[in-house]
Amino acid sequence: MEPILKGRNLVKRYGRVTALDHCDFDLMPGEILAVIGDNGAGKSSLIKAVSGAVIPDDGEVWLEGRKVNFTSPIDARNEGIETVYQTLAMSPALSIADNMFMGREIRKPGFRGKWMRQLDRAEMERLAREKLTELGLMTIQNINQAVETLSGGQRQGVAVARAAAFGSKVIILDEPTAALGVKESRRVLELIMDVKSRGIPIILISHNMPHVFEVADRIHVHRLGKRLCVIDPKDYTMSDAVAFMTGAKEPPSEDAAA
Amino acid sequence: MSDTSGKTDDFEVKATRQPEAVAEFEDTHRGLIGTVQHLLHVNPSLVPLIVLVASIVIFGLLLGTKFFSPFALTLILQQVQIVGIVAAAQSLVILTAGIDLSVGAIMVMSSVVMGQFTFRYGIPVEISVACGLLCGALIGFVNGWLVARVKLPPFIVTLGMWQIVLATNFLYSANETIRSQDIEAQAPLLQFFGNTIQLGGARLTFGVVFMLVLVFVLAYALKHTAWGRHVYAVGDDPEAAELSGVNVKRTLISVYALAGLICAFAGWALIGRIGSVSPTSGQLANIESITAVVIGGISLFGGRGSIMGTLFGALIVGVFTLGLRLWGADAQWTYLLIGVLIIAAVGVDQWIRKVSV
């Protein structure tokens, strides 16, 4: 089967630091691929390289068998790749609805939208509320409240809802449950399964091994800027995975799982 | 034993069965000061509006009908029109967390281009005006390009551009003023914004009307168009805006270019205001525009504030200037009070920022 999103020989250097060292990456259609690795292993750089947030120094990215050159996150978004970044990428002073529709605002129909470029606030608010309710973020009282007034978990929920609402080919989640409470984490995991059942593949970066082992179909273990191995969570335990990513245990040979 | 392990495993399932009603909290802890703080947080232009109304009332009580007449009040509008237009441009730039020190120079340069093209080369006045407007937009575009593409700090870019444009202005115009009578006789279009509308005792110039229309149009654009939301997002956090799909560079360039164009309009209005085309006029426009923006409650850190505040800020300066002059006070008192207002405005900005409710 051809991977939907594929990275080959990716290299990214920041000065003397090599974040990606000839790294390969494969995401199969319809799967949940977890990416795990120690801090500084280059997980985020890898994700940014395939989502357009950084331009790799070398290497190729392929989407659905076609070579793509993302020069900005907007390019990746236009191709249907949505990312929830660790920093969440929200404008604190703007409202939840404004943030969810940032860069793809809905304009009013007819003259007011076409010529006066007027935004359709009511429609955007309705859709935003719908998406948040789907996620079970009912504790948000007012869709027009500024994002800076939300708790960390609520912000993360809004960011995940935004990605789930607009991602059509690939959804990338960078530590989506890190700041969430038990209940919200559960919702996000349910949402991940829900998105998967719609046939959209997901890349999940997480340090939370129980979550990873619960939802992932395959686990990409990242170490020292490279793909160390890809394992099937059914064949290994959590402590095996941790041992691989910290270098305490030799990885299985590549072809065993991939 | 087996019982307890079964219970601990499904704690997450339990969590999902909680009632899903919207949480409501009673709001008793806020108090009067808290309520005011919250209100100001939601409507940042309320502070300058209150100060404006208060200062009009105070000067009205002190000076009676001398100040509180349609003539005097519309005179204030005429006196602030140039600063008001330039400050509208400045607001856009400051909302993106930048600053434009070259606004005054762009304004004068554009007016000189309009005048010299007409009188030196004999180009039809309509085309000269268009060239002047283009000139302003072009300088703004270069500012924006340097800030967005070359990633130089806005302060440095516009500090340099201020000197470059001002020097070009003097070199090109050879420091010559085009006299008011000549303009009136040969190219009255240059003085278009000086035309007046008389309503009873009130006198409105086209320049004043233009300033008010401009502020309303920009307020609409900032609030109700995607472009306006992007301006705020870029000022708030450019990285976040970029990652969430805003074309940050294009937004920045458009803001600086539009600011340049507005300054060119201010240059046109300046001809209407002073009658002549003078390369030495409008030297303080950059500082005065920043003053209006700051008093108007727009945050110098970007992303917060409204353009209506800027209009109020410009009017506050106008009210103080005229009020104190009519009262017979030394002009230095005006500067002193404006200085106090600037510091107070930034203090209030910091205070209302603390409210995250």
Over the range B110-140, which residues count as b (16 or more CB within 10 Å of their CB) and which as e?
bbbbbbbbbbeeebebeebbebbbebbbbbb
Of the listed ranges A66-70, B29-33, B126-130, B268-272, the one predicted with least confidence = B29-33
Q: Is A221 exposed, middle or buried (0-12, 13-18, 19+ CB in 10 A)?
A: buried
CA B9 vs CA A33, A216, B5: distances in Å: 25, 20, 6
| Residue B19 pLDDT grade (very low, low, confident, very high; cuts 50, 70, 90) | very low
Task: Decide if B243 and A92 are in contact by the 8 Å CB cutoff.
Answer: no
Task: Decide if A183 and B15 are in contact by the 8 Å CB cutoff.
Answer: yes
Mean pLDDT value across residues A64-80: 89
Task: Decide if A72 and B242 are in contact by the 8 Å CB cutoff.
Answer: yes
Task: State the Cα–Cα distance between residues B107 and B90, nearest whole angstrom.
Answer: 12
CA A86 vs CA A43, A122, A178: distances in Å: 11, 29, 9
Task: Decide if A136 and B245 are in contact by the 8 Å CB cutoff.
Answer: no
Asked if the C-beta of B229 comes within 8 angstroms of chain A's C-beta atoms, the answer is yes
Asked if the C-beta of B249 comes within 8 angstroms of chain A's C-beta atoms, the answer is no
The upper half-sphere exposure of residue A183, i.e. CA atoms within 13 Å in the direction of its Cβ, equals: 13
Q: Is the pLDDT of residue A181 over 80?
A: no
Helices (H) and strands (E) in chain A, counts: 9, 10
Of B234, B232, B357, B207, whose CA–CA distance to B307 is shortest?
Answer: B232
Residues 77-96 of A with CB under 8 A from B: 77, 83, 85, 87-94
| Residue B18 pLDDT grade (very low, low, confident, very high; cuts 50, 70, 90) | very low
Task: State the Cα–Cα distance between residues A159 and A180, nearest whole angstrom.
Answer: 12
Measured in angstroms, the CA of A196 and the nearest CA of chain B are apart by 20
**Chain B residue numbers touching A187 (CB-CB < 8 A):** 16
Of B332, B23, B241, B281, whose CA–CA distance to A85 is shortest?
Answer: B241
pLDDT in tens, B83-138: 999 999 999 999 999 999 999 999 999 999 999 999 999 999 999 999 999 999 99
Asked if the C-beta of B240 comes within 8 angstroms of chain A's C-beta atoms, the answer is yes
Measured in angstroms, the CA of A82 and the nearest CA of chain B are apart by 9
Asked if the C-beta of B233 comes within 8 angstroms of chain A's C-beta atoms, the answer is yes
Domains along chain A? 5-256 (3.40.50.300)
Torsion of CA B51, B54, B56, B60, to 10 degrees: -160
Return mean pLDDT, chain B: 88
Over the range B46-77, which residues count as b (16 or more CB within 10 Å of their CB) and which as e?
bbbbebbeebbeebbeebeeebeeeebbbbbb
- Selecting from A105, A118, A149 the residue whose C-beta is nearest the C-beta of B357 gives A149
Interface test with A, best of B234, B244, B247, B353 (most A CBs within 10 A): B244
Q: Is the pLDDT of residue A83 over 70?
A: yes
pLDDT reported for residue B65: 87
Task: State the Cα–Cα distance between residues B133 and B142, nearest whole angstrom.
Answer: 14
Task: State the Cα–Cα distance between residues A61 and A51, nearest whole angstrom.
Answer: 10
What is the percent of chain B with per-residue pLDDT over 90, rounded to a whole number?
67
Measured in angstroms, the CA of B151 and the nearest CA of chain A are apart by 17
Task: Say which residue, B14 or B297, is predicted with more confidence.
Answer: B297
- What is the reported pTM? 0.87
Task: Decide if A102 and B232 are in contact by the 8 Å CB cutoff.
Answer: no
Question: In which residue are the tokens 């353009």 written?
Answer: B307
Task: Decide if B240 and A138 are in contact by the 8 Å CB cutoff.
Answer: no
Task: Say which residue, B145 or A127, is predicted with more confidence.
Answer: B145
Domains along chain B? 44-353 (1.10.3470)
pLDDT reported for residue A4: 92
Task: Say which residue, B219 or A52, is predicted with more confidence.
Answer: B219
- Selecting from A85, A93, A117 the residue whose C-beta is nearest the C-beta of B225 gives A117
Task: State the Cα–Cα distance between residues B73 and B66, nearest whole angstrom.
Answer: 10
**Chain A residue numbers touching B148 (CB-CB < 8 A):** none
Interface test with A, best of B17, B26, B243 (most A CBs within 10 A): B243
Strands (E), chain B: 196-199, 202-205
Task: Decide if A73 and B237 are in contact by the 8 Å CB cutoff.
Answer: no
pLDDT reported for residue B16: 52
- Selecting from A91, A119, A148 the residue whose C-beta is nearest the C-beta of B226 gives A119
Residues 151-190 of A with CB under 8 A from B: 162, 182-183, 185-187
Size of interface A-B (CB pairs under 8 A): 103
| Residue B278 pLDDT grade (very low, low, confident, very high; cuts 50, 70, 90) | very high
Measured in angstroms, the CA of B218 and the nearest CA of chain A are apart by 12
Task: Decide if B16 and A183 are in contact by the 8 Å CB cutoff.
Answer: yes
| Residue A148 pLDDT grade (very low, low, confident, very high; cuts 50, 70, 90) | confident
| Residue B4 pLDDT grade (very low, low, confident, very high; cuts 50, 70, 90) | very low
Residues 189-248 of A with CB under 8 A from B: none
Asked if the C-beta of B242 comes within 8 angstroms of chain A's C-beta atoms, the answer is yes
